[in-house]
């Protein structure tokens, strides 16, 4: 993991950055291989898995908590997990804005996430810098001020990251103004027990 990245417009990622497809494909292959080994004898079932398979979805907000939320006791769709990617920043300065929903910022058991980037989906961008920590690995700070002129800027990582089950994930940001903000993780999610997703909010992926 080199920590390299590019800044671009979210809607232009697939069109103008063919390396994104290669990074995504490589990460997906690695994530499925890891899940196959860790969750044996289950096999990969794609978008429509059977009871003997694990499934694939987009990254769902229910595995995370946001700014000002307490940790959730429930692994998915708990009362303190995010229901959509929409948050309201009520404080400025350096803040934790996205974290695994379980105590200590941990991703719940039975879920693995492949992360290739982050997109900011609002016209008003309220952060100027981000920094991530995955397990005990602290990644370099990313200054996104030059992306403020973009329409829906995205940060695409040079190498994808695996957020494994029962490991920590923290995303901190320097918040410049209070107000609403949507930060969308770009990638995929694997679910060992698909019928435990319990996602009833039709806007959960937004």
In this prediction, residue 72 carries a pLDDT of 58
**Residue where the block lists tokens 């492949």:** 114
Residues 154 and 7 sit within 8 Å (Cβ to Cβ): yes
Q: Cα–Cα distances in Å, from 87 out to 58, 61, 176, 185?
A: 19, 11, 15, 14
Listed as ranges, residues in the chain with pLDDT below 70 are: 1-3, 14-16, 70-79, 196-206
For Cα atoms 146, 105, 8, give the angle at the middle one, nearest 5 degrees: 20
In this prediction, residue 107 carries a pLDDT of 95
In this prediction, residue 73 carries a pLDDT of 60
Query: What fold characterizes domain 5-12+62-186?
Result: Jelly Rolls (2.60.120)
In which element (H, E) is residue 15 found?
helix 13-16
Q: How far apart are CA 185 and CA 44, in angstroms?
A: 22
Answer positive or negative: Cα dihedral of 38, 39, 44, 49.
negative
In three-state secondary structure terms, 129 is: strand
């Amino acid at each position: 993991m080199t920590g390299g990245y590019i800044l671009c417009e979210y809607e232009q990622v697939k069109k103008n950055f063919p390396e994104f497809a290669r990074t995504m494909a490589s990460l997906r292959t690695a994530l499925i291989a890891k899940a196959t080994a860790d969750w044996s004898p289950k096999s990969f079932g794609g978008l429509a898995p059977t009871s003997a398979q694990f499934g694939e979805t987009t990254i769902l907000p229910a595995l995370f908590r946001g700014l000002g939320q307490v940790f959730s006791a429930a692994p998915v769709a708990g009362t303190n997990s995010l229901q959509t990617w929409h948050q309201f920043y009520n404080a400025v300065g350096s803040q934790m804005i996205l974290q695994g929903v379980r105590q200590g910022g941990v991703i719940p058991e039975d879920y693995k996430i492949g992360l290739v980037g982050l997109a900011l989906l609002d016209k008003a961008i309220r952060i100027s810098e981000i920094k991530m920590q995955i397990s005990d690995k602290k990644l370099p700070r990313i200054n996104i001020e030059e992306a403020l002129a973009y329409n829906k800027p995205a940060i695409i990582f040079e190498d994808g990251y695996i957020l494994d089950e029962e490991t920590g994930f923290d995303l901190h940001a320097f918040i410049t103004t209070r107000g609403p903000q949507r930060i969308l993780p770009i990638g995929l999610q694997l679910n060992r027990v698909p019928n435990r997703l319990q996602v009833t909010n039709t806007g959960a992926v937004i």
